């Protein structure tokens, strides 16, 4: 497993990370506890040392599972996210220091770590970012030696840019061949700040694996049932044709194209994978391949095809 610097932190992490939202059962339906443990163990076995979670995934259960499975497993790094108050009905975002302090202490206990590697604000709005208190709280935790790095899991380029201007250590942002614009829009800010980048949604919730028919149906407990309407979904399936010419030689599938697209961007510190089984994890690691992931001429040609297919590649 190849490693990359996590931005301006002193950490070097595997360029593939294990995300745990899919394993939590929150987004795609239930996964057995035994399979969750097998996936975490397999990730360790193939050299993944970066694990992405949040205090809301399984209402903290994913943090507990990581705390147990990573204990004594050698050097590993955990990224967790806080900022959602599940005690409220309905749950609501809270980034006041009082809530963040309680949330952090609970996460630290579940993860069973004296020092938590990375803590991110979990999807704050632009309005929430106007307050300096949340990031000041995380900065104080770092200065106190309770965390190693901090940042923001951003739902938009505007939020990411605000975080970068506040000198966070890293951002987490959705980045894939069908949603490249947000990261491209803040790329200069990333380079100037030296922040690390965790790329999430690298397969666009499974769409970029290229295994669905236009008539694919999703179960009621699968968030994808509500993500696209029928016309949008069929358009997305057609847009996959823009990626198919890249399948050649070591690039064996659309899944491989999607993974290599993310890893070819050198400002990405790690691509967060979301497998729900050991078989899926092995397939993702295998098809990510080795550098050079995609040549710059290939990426330039792909950019033109994506634009022709109606996909906005960059803010410019």
User: Which residues are CB-contacts of 194 (< 8 A; sequence separation ≥ 6)?
Assistant: 7, 8
Residue 72's pLDDT is 84
Residue 62's pLDDT is 98
Tens-digit pLDDT profile for residues 267-288: 999 999 999 999 999 999 999 9
Residue 316's pLDDT is 37
**Separation between Cα atoms, residue 58 and residue 27, nearest integer Å:** 10
What would the two tokens of residue 186 be? 């803040």
pTM equals: 0.96
Tens-digit pLDDT profile for residues 176-219: 999 999 999 999 999 999 999 999 999 999 999 999 999 999 99
Q: CB-based burial of residue 274 (10 Å sphere; 0-12 exposed, 13-18 middle, 19+ buried)?
A: buried
Contact present, 286 and 202 (Cβ < 8 Å): no
What would the two tokens of residue 155 be? 């739902």
Going by DSSP bridges, is the β-strand pair 170-174/147-154 parallel, antiparallel, or unpaired? parallel
The top-level CATH class assigned to 3-308 is alpha beta
Residue 87's pLDDT is 85
Tell me the CA distances in angstroms from 70 to 1, 67, 109, 285, one per residue in order: 18, 6, 14, 20
Contact present, 175 and 182 (Cβ < 8 Å): yes
**Separation between Cα atoms, residue 159 and residue 174, nearest integer Å:** 12
Residue 92's pLDDT is 92
Residue 314's pLDDT is 61
**Separation between Cα atoms, residue 236 and residue 203, nearest integer Å:** 13
Residue 315's pLDDT is 46
Residue 73's pLDDT is 86
Q: Hey, where are the domains in the chain?
A: 3-308
Residue 88's pLDDT is 81
**Separation between Cα atoms, residue 251 and residue 257, nearest integer Å:** 6
Contact present, 117 and 157 (Cβ < 8 Å): no
Our CA angle for 308, 311, 272, nearest 5°, is 135
Residues of the chain with pLDDT below 50 are: 315-316
- Total residue count of the chain as it appears in this document: 316
User: Rounded to a whole number, what is the largest CA-CA distance in the chain?
Assistant: 54
94: phi then psi, degrees, rounded to nearest 5: -145, 125
DSSP lists the bridge partners of residue 313 as none
User: Which residues are CB-contacts of 273 (< 8 A; sequence separation ≥ 6)?
Assistant: 16, 17, 18, 19, 202, 281, 284
DSSP lists the bridge partners of residue 78 as 51
- Cα 160 to chain centroid distance, Å, stands at 14
DSSP string, 144-206: TTSEEEEEEEESSHHHHHHHHHTT-SEEEEE-BTTB-HHHHHHHHHHHHHT-EEEEE-TTTTT
């Amino acid at each position: 497993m190849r490693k990359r610097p996590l931005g301006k932190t002193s950490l070097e992490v595997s360029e593939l990370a294990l995300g745990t939202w899919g394993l939590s059962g929150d987004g795609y339906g239930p996964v057995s506890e035994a399979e969750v443990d097998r996936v975490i163990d397999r990730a360790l076995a193939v050299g993944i040392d970066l694990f992405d979670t949040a205090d809301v995934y399984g209402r903290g259960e994913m943090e507990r599972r990581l705390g147990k499975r990573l204990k004594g497993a050698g050097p590993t790094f955990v990224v967790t996210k806080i900022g959602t108050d599940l005690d409220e009905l309905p749950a609501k975002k809270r980034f006041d220091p009082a809530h963040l302090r309680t949330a952090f202490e609970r996460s630290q206990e579940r993860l069973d770590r004296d020092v938590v590697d990375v803590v991110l604000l979990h999807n704050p709005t632009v309005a929430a970012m106007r307050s300096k208190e949340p990031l000041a709280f995380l900065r104080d935790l770092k200065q106190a030696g309770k965390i190693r790095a901090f940042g923001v899991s951003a739902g938009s380029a505007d939020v990411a840019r605000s975080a970068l201007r506040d000198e966070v250590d890293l951002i987490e942002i959705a980045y894939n061949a069908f949603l490249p614009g947000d990261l491209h829009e803040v790329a200069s800010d990333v380079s100037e700040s030296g922040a690390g980048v965790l790329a999430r949604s690298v397969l666009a919730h499974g769409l970029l694996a290229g295994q669905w028919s236009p008539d694919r149906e999703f179960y009621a407990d699968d968030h994808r049932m509500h993500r696209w309407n029928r016309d949008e979904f069929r358009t997305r399936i057609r847009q996959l044709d823009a990626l198919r010419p890249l399948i050649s030689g070591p690039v064996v599938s659309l899944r491989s194209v999607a993974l290599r697209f993310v890893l070819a961007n050198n400002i990405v510190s790690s691509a967060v994978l979301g497998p729900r089984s050991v078989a899926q994890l092995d397939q993702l690691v295998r098809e990510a391949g080795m550098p050079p992931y995609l040549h710059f001429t290939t990426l330039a040609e792909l950019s033109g095809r994506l634009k022709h297919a109606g996909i906005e590649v960059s803010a410019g």
